[in-house]
Structure 1
Amino acid sequence: MSKYFKDFLNEQLKDEEFRKEYESLEAEFQIIKEIIEARKDKNITQKELSDLTGITQGDISKIENGNANPSLKTLKKLAAAFGKKLVISFE
């Protein structure tokens, strides 16, 4: 994350309404981040992940771009493809 973006974000987070909306999206951002990082750690493309999971490359792209909410079933497929265990918790 660039310093310019961090400074901009910190300035925006001073606005309570913006901060609440940003925080409400934290879980979605975390899921996206975890999927992208796991795919990059495994050094595979979206197409290769698609081949491993049976999830279309287009759907993987939508998930990674925040334009789709993956189901629990989809998250389990992704976790299995990464050789990981899906863990969900309430904190």
Structure 2
Amino acid sequence: MKKFDTFLEEQMKDPDFKSEFENLQPELDVIRAIVDARTSQNLTQKQLSERTGINQADISKLENGTRNPTLNMLKRLAKGMNMELKIEFTPKQA
């Protein structure tokens, strides 16, 4: 992971790259939260699909960033993992 961190640090010096990266961060955070929640319970995408009624292919698309989840879908995922969905706004860091 050291090589990636070094690469990212170098790329963040470019204002255009940094702006685009920061714009994508909320989507990346949602993806990471879904994957982390699912894997923390040792669930496969198929098992989560069975619990939620969400097609496994759609869960895969969410996790690889090619589909954006609706709020209803996030609620269903949380319920299927016996978790609470929490969305919050936080102040920007300077």
Show structure 1 runs of 5+ residues with no match: none
Distance 2:66 2:47 in 1: 20
Q: Could you list the runs of 4 or more consecutive aligned residues of structure 1 that deviate by over 2 angstroms after TM superposition?
A: none
Show structure 2 runs of 5+ residues with no match: none
Alpha-carbon shift at residue 83 of structure 1 (Å): 1.4
Distance 1:83 1:73 in 2: 15
What TM-score do you get using the length of structure 2 for normalisation?
Answer: 0.92
Distance 2:59 2:40 in 1: 16
Q: State the identity %.
A: 49
Give per-residue Cα distances to partners, 1:37-66, cap 9 Å, x unaligned: 111111010000000001100000000001
What TM-score do you get using the length of structure 1 for normalisation?
Answer: 0.95
Cross-structure match for 1:42: 41
Q: How many residues align?
A: 90
Alpha-carbon shift at residue 82 of structure 1 (Å): 1.5
Cross-structure match for 1:58: 57
Amino acid at match of 2:69: P
Cross-structure match for 2:81: 82
Give per-residue Cα distances to partners, 1:4-61, cap 9 Å, x unaligned: 1111111101001110110111111111111111111110100000000011000000
Amino acid at match of 1:29: L
Amino acid at match of 1:74: M
